[in-house]
Structure 1
Amino acid sequence: PDNRKGPYGSEKDFETIIAAMKRIASIGKEEGVVFVLENCPYSHCPKGEMTLRIIKAVNQESLRLLWDPANSFRAEKDLVPDSYKSWSLLEELEALYPYIDHIHVKDYRFRPELAKPFEHRILGEGEIDFLSLFDFLKNKGFSKAVSLEPEVDPEGAIESMIRLDSIL
C-alpha cells in the first residue's frame, strides 16, 4: 500500500484479489488444506469487513479468515473507503466470526503527534478492548488458533505473553 496515495479497496483491488484468492482456494481444495487471508494493509484490505467481502465472494471452505483486530483498529482512516468505517471491533468480530480460523493479537495506542500515529504497545497497554473480544469468543466456544504478534521489544513480548495467558 505504500506505493500509492489513494484509498485501498477499489473495485479493481477487489476484482484482482478475489481472482487470486479463487485460484488459491482451488489449490487448497485440491490439496486438502485451508489458507487464511489476513485483514492487513499489505493485502489492500486492512479492515476485517473488507476481507469478509473476499471470503464471501470466493465461497470455499479452503479459504478462511485470519482476523487481526489491531490491523482493523489502525487502518488509516483516509485510506479506507467510508463504507468500511462504521463497525466497532466487536461488531466486526460478530460479523466475521463464522469465517475465522486464526486470530492475531497485538495492541496499539493512537498518538496523533507521531509521524506514524499508531504505536505498538504491550498487550493491555494499548487501546484495544481485548477483554470484550475474548469474552465474545469464549461465549461462542471459539476453538481455533490464536497467536500473539506483539511487535514490541523482547521484554514487552514476554509481558504480552503473560497478559494473554491471563486473559485466556
Structure 2
Amino acid sequence: MQIAIMTDELSSDLETALEIGMDWGIRHFELRGIGSERVGALSPFSTHHMYQTIEQTGATIAALSPGIFKIPLVDPNVPEGFQVLRWQDTEEFYFRKNAIQKLEDHLNVLLPESLAIAKRLGVKTVVIFGVNRPDGVSSDDCPEFVIDLLREAAKKAGEAGITLALENEHICFADSAEHTARIIEKIDHPNLRINWDPANAYYAGEDPYPFGYQFVKDYVAHVHFKDAVTDPNGHCRYVVEGSIRWEQQLEQLQKDGYKGFVTIETHCRPKIASARQTLERIRKVLG
C-alpha cells in the first residue's frame, strides 16, 4: 500500500503542491484541480505546463480525478411533459438538452481526454462518479441509462488499458458501499472497479467500517482518505480526526492484500496543516 496526496489539497498551484509533498517524503500524487481548472478539461497551456512540471519534479501520478459523471442526471428515455405556458416548455427543453449533452460530452470528450492524459503520464487509474441523483430519487433506483453509461465508459477505458475507479459519493447513485458494489456487479466489467471513500459512505448514512467495507473489499482499486463527524444538530462535516475507524480500515486493507494507493484528501482548512496531520496518522499504521 502506498501513500499519495491530492495536489489541490496542498495548493492549487501544481508546482507548489509537488514541492510541499516531496519535501514530506511523498512521491505519489493524484491530480484533480490545477489552478482554476480541472484535469481533463485544462487549457492547452495548462496541459503543457502540467506535463512539464511533472517531468521536471520526477513525481509519480497515482490517479486522475477529472469529475467524470459528477453531474445531474436527465434520462433521455423519459418523455417530456408539456406545460400550460410556452416559456416553461422552452426552459424545460433547453435544460434537458443541455444536461443530456453534458453527459454525452463527459463520455465522448472528457473521458477520452482523461484517458489520453493518463496514458501519457503512465497512470493506471481514473476516478469517476455514478451520476448525481435528482432530488427525491432513491439510490436504490439507479436507472438503466446510468448503468449503460458506466458500462460504455468501462469499455472505452478497457480499450485504453486503464481502470476506472467508481467513487462512492453521497449525492450520486453510487453513494454507499452497498449501492456502489451493486452497480459494479451489475456492469461486471474488469476495467470498472471502486474508489473506496469511507467518509463519503459515512455522509451517505452508512457505517463504512466494518459494515460498508464488506461490500466493496473485492473491488477496491483506489482509496481516498478523509474523515468526518456528525455534529449535535445531525450535520456531517469533514475533520482531520473523526468517526471513521481509519486505523482498523487500513490494517484490514493490508490483510486483504490491497497494494494500491491511499490518497490524502482532507477537505479541511488549514490545508497544509490538515494534510500533514493526516499523513502522520497514516504513517503510524503503514510505517
TM-score range relative to shorter protein: 0.7 to 0.9
Give me the whole-angstrom Cα distance separating, in 2, the residues matched to 1:89 and 1:49. Answer: 12
Q: What CA deviation, in whole Å up to 9, does each residue of 1:127-161 have, x standing for no partner?
A: 11112111211212210121111111121221111
Q: Which runs of 4+ in 1 moved over 2 A?
A: 1-5, 41-45
> Where do 5+ consecutive residues of structure 1 fail to align?
78-84
Give me the whole-angstrom Cα distance separating, in 2, the residues matched to 1:5 and 1:32. Answer: 36
Q: What CA deviation, in whole Å up to 9, does each residue of 1:25-64 have, x standing for no partner?
A: 1101212111111000243321011111111111111111
1:132 to 245, 248, 260: 248
Q: Which amino acid aligns with 1:166?
A: K
SS in 1 for 2:217: helix
Q: Across the two proteins, how many residue pairs are aligned to each other? A: 154
Q: What CA deviation, in whole Å up to 9, does each residue of 1:3-36 have, x standing for no partner?
A: 843143142x342321111100110121211111
> Where do 5+ consecutive residues of structure 2 fail to align?
1-71, 73-131
Mean Cα deviation higher: 22-31 or 40-49: 40-49
Aligned to 1:151: 267
Give me the whole-angstrom Cα distance separating, in 2, the residues matched to 1:71 and 1:8. Answer: 16
Determine if the alignment matches structure 1 residue 52 to structure 2 residue 181: yes
**Structure label with greater radius of gyration:** 2
Distance 1:10 1:16, change over 3 A: farther
SS in 2 for 1:53: helix
Alignment of 1:7-156 (within 5 A): 7-11=137-141, 13-75=142-204, 77=205, 89-113=209-233, 117-122=235-240, 125-153=241-269, 154=271, 155-156=273-274
CA RMSD, Structure 1 to Structure 2 (Å) = 2.1
CA apart distance, 1:113: 2.2
- TM-score scaled by structure 2? 0.50
